[in-house]
Structure 1
Amino acid sequence: MGVTMSWRSSPLVLREPLRISRSTMDRRDAVTVRLDHAGHTGYGEVVTSVFAGLGLDRIHAGLTVLRSRTTGYATPEALHTELPAVVAGLHPGTAAAFDAALHDLLGRLAGRPVHRLVGAPAPGAVPTAYTIGLVSPTEAGRVAGRLVAAGFRILKLKAGDDHDVARVAAVRAAAPDARLLLDPNGGWTAEAAVRRLDALAGYRLDAVEQPIAAGQLDRLAWVAARTPVPVVADEDAATEADLPRLAGVVAGVNIKLAKCGGIRAATRMVTAAGEHGLAVMLGCLVASSLGIAPALHLAGYARWVDLDGHLLLADDPWTGLGGHDGTLRPTGTPGLGVTPRRPDPLDPAGSAPPPDPTASAQPAASAHPAASIQPAASIQPAASTQPAASIQPAAEVIR
């Protein structure tokens, strides 16, 4: 039996609206992608994004194309070998969901977590940032105090209105020891960015993301040269191809799997970032634990981890990441390591979710030799004296 594919959509509602410089969001739609083979199931998730031009119609159209392209592959290993061709021309968010489901399936078949499949260092306990939107300075301080009391050590503040300085001041007063990230989402002009960052010089900012609109590298370089705060490119760093021109311009890049196309593409970006002297931030969109999990398997490479999308939801339909105390704790179980909280409507039985990955898992027997999985070349973790785990071909990890 080959690999079969199905999907379903469902809403994700935020606990409270999140306002940033270009929009306010209170919900988004998620599409769960499911791949089945030999009694095992892998899952991935793509979420809608107005900014990225990705609505439900485009997602469903892309997944329909993917389903037609997967026909004829006898094993997920063979599908992985041809993955770049399979997802070619599709929106990177849709490609990332398929990529995640395939890696989840491969991990479950092999009885290994995804980070071991791709040769990444085990993420361990990972402190994550938590995002505070464009609220009043008083409210921002209140939220920061609550987050610090809960255990958060990294706070990310949205910026881009007249209260930026007062908001940072209020948060720093409430969280004197926290690491602070600032994200205007490209909402400043270059001149305003320099003025604001100069006014914020005394508040010990860890980094500022994409201070000005994307596509102005000369102006971005002008800003970065005039502030001691490390500048991290986000919208200007969508894919591996963007990194050479960012070298020497910014301190780091925000790698989001929904921007670059998934785990496989992200590992290449990590390699390229290291080659160009760029530090790595791992970011996300608002998504469920299923949507956040793939990036967590690469967290050992990151200087900054901002994987809080599932924490912003009123009802996360998946579990397995933790994070409500400021620390993500991967389960270390096969695949992505997350499980649905409720029965999966796509399950043929119509009642039960797939086996809990926290249970003992054995690799599935296969009549097909495993094709080689080629993750990124040697990559060193960002904040570790240990070398990255050696990269093993799939024949050794998928049996």
Structure 2
Amino acid sequence: MSLSTSVERVELPFEFPFTIARGTTTSAENVVVRIEDDDGRVGIGGAAPSPHYGETVDTVEAVLPELLAIVEDIGDPHQLARIERRMRETVRQNPAARASVSIALHDLVARRLDVPLYRYWGLDPTESVRTSYSIGIDDTETMREKVETATDRGFEVLKIKVGTGRDEEIVRTIREAAPDATIRVDANEAWPPKEAVRTIDRIADYDIEFVEQPVPAENPEGLRYVYEHSPIPIAADESLETVVDVPQIADRCDIAVLKLMKCGGLREARRIIETAHAHGLEVMCGCMYESNASIAAAAQLAPLLDYADLDGSLLLDDDPYEGVPMPAGRIGLQPLERNGSGVLEPQTRRG
């Protein structure tokens, strides 16, 4: 067997400018990997690098030739453990680059076996969870309008970005605009520990499901302080990158947040889920600014999750790749009559 590979950079404009505590973004660039076997089956994987973790589209493109050379050298996509081990040995960092190859390989393997990825893993698609829909920081009235648009589209779970001097006002306004919605709050490391506790105390009356990453990741004792004093469950995102971080956050949060682009691939993602559950933590899978070239694979993990935040493609003005349907936030693994991750390339959609 032989495998051929290719790489493409894609520009992804957002439907609306998106702001978090660290800044505003109007579009994202992803790198898409294709791995094709002798029979013409193609696996698709996307890299959505984050400068916050020291990775850019340029660094992804720089290391992908080395990673794909490993794939071509081994030549068997079913050798997932061997390929991913060699990738880690070759490129220690660049998790988004490694994730794109991992996703493409898993997509190809499941296509070769004529099964959806969730079935390859032995998962029950009826146990899927809903994804949240994120509302970026803006002036309060604009955030209200975005929430009303989201609820009109049927989204029942909203994730509100905070980290401003008016966080209580924002949360109060969102709750008024969406009285029946499930609301999560994400500070993206914006608060010092004591400020985090004061703010959480003020917003606790607005029926918040959980607060994500209230303090900087480099302050683990601050995270512990917030966790011990918060009346609302705490989720750790930036504090968790790979499975080795799980024991370090187990007594500092209620929910572990994994992302394929942080951890480096689907095998590592499953290790994080199993390890977090073993430590008594709930698990959410989140995403970066991603197309369905990677979101589709993350959606296949939904039956293993307690929560999902997989709205990366939903925030785009147009995604050239079609993935797992998510009408009103429902992750539609069933009936999804596609094998692999469920992603379709643009030419396949046109055909």
Compute the TM-score of the two structures, normalised by the length of structure 1.
Answer: 0.83
Structure 1 or 2, whichever has the larger Rg, is: 1
Q: Which residue of 2 aligns with 1:288?
A: 291
Q: Which residue of 1 aligns with 2:41?
A: 40
Q: Which residue of 1 aligns with 2:77?
A: 76
Does the CA contact (< 8 Å) of 1:21 and 1:187 recur in 2?
A: yes
Q: CA deviation at 1:191?
A: 1.1
2:240 is paired with a residue whose SS is coil
Distance 1:36 1:210, change over 3 A: same
* Counterpart residue identity of residue 338, structure 1: V
Alpha-carbon displacement from aligned partner over 1:161-213 (angstroms, at most 9, x marks no partner): 01211111111111111111100100011111011001101101101110000
Q: 1:224-235 counterparts in 2 under 5 A?
A: 224-235=227-238
Structure 1 CA distance for aligned equivalents of residues 201 and 75 of structure 2: 59
Does the CA contact (< 8 Å) of 2:99 and 2:265 recur in 1?
A: yes
Q: Which residue of 1 aligns with 2:152?
A: 149
Q: Which residue of 2 aligns with 1:4?
A: 4
Match for 1:122 among 122, 125, 134? 125
Structure 2 CA distance for aligned equivalents of residues 123 and 280 of structure 1: 18
Does the CA contact (< 8 Å) of 2:64 and 2:97 recur in 1?
A: yes
* Counterpart residue identity of residue 8, structure 1: E
2:52 is paired with a residue whose SS is coil
* Counterpart residue identity of residue 276, structure 1: H
Distance 1:14 1:293, change over 3 A: same
1:228 is paired with a residue whose SS is coil
Q: CA deviation at 1:10?
A: 1.5
Does the CA contact (< 8 Å) of 1:150 and 1:326 recur in 2?
A: no
Structure 2 CA distance for aligned equivalents of residues 303 and 71 of structure 1: 36
1:249 is paired with a residue whose SS is coil
Moved more, 27-36 or 113-122: 113-122
Alpha-carbon displacement from aligned partner over 1:344-399 (angstroms, at most 9, x marks no partner): xxxxxxxxx4998xxxxxxxxxxxxxxxxxxxxxxxxxxxxxxxxxxxxxxxxxxx
Match for 1:97 among 97, 100, 103? 100
1:2 is paired with a residue whose SS is coil
Does residue 31 (structure 1) correspond to residue 31 (structure 2)? The answer is yes
1:212 is paired with a residue whose SS is coil
Q: Give the helix-richer structure, 1 or 2.
A: 2
Q: CA deviation at 1:305?
A: 0.8
Structure 2 CA distance for aligned equivalents of residues 123 and 284 of structure 1: 22
* Counterpart residue identity of residue 17, structure 1: P
Q: Which residue of 2 aligns with 1:132?
A: 135
Structure 2 CA distance for aligned equivalents of residues 74 and 220 of structure 1: 44
Q: Which residue of 2 aligns with 1:85?
A: 86
Structure 1 CA distance for aligned equivalents of residues 179 and 349 of structure 2: 44
Does the CA contact (< 8 Å) of 1:35 and 1:43 recur in 2?
A: yes
Structure 2 CA distance for aligned equivalents of residues 354 and 144 of structure 1: 30
Does residue 220 (structure 1) correspond to residue 223 (structure 2)? The answer is yes
Does the CA contact (< 8 Å) of 2:135 and 2:143 recur in 1?
A: yes
Q: 1:182-201 counterparts in 2 under 5 A?
A: 182-201=185-204
* Counterpart residue identity of residue 52, structure 2: F
Does the CA contact (< 8 Å) of 1:311 and 1:324 recur in 2?
A: no
Identity rate, percent:
33
Match for 1:336 among 305, 320, 341? 341
* Counterpart residue identity of residue 107, structure 2: D
State the superposition RMSD in angstroms. 1.8
Distance 1:355 1:297, change over 3 A: farther
Q: CA deviation at 1:4?
A: 1.4
Q: CA deviation at 1:90?
A: 4.3
Structure 1 CA distance for aligned equivalents of residues 155 and 288 of structure 2: 19
Structure 2 CA distance for aligned equivalents of residues 247 and 117 of structure 1: 30
Structure 2 CA distance for aligned equivalents of residues 4 and 138 of structure 1: 51
Alpha-carbon displacement from aligned partner over 1:251-309 (angstroms, at most 9, x marks no partner): 01111011011111000001100111110011001111122111111111222111000
* Counterpart residue identity of residue 10, structure 1: V
Distance 1:220 1:155, change over 3 A: same
Match for 2:182 among 179, 183, 197? 179
Alpha-carbon displacement from aligned partner over 1:35-65 (angstroms, at most 9, x marks no partner): 0112211000002322122222211111011
Structure 2 CA distance for aligned equivalents of residues 283 and 11 of structure 1: 21
Distance 1:27 1:158, change over 3 A: same
2:27 is paired with a residue whose SS is strand
Structure 1 CA distance for aligned equivalents of residues 316 and 98 of structure 2: 23
Does the CA contact (< 8 Å) of 2:49 and 2:261 recur in 1?
A: no
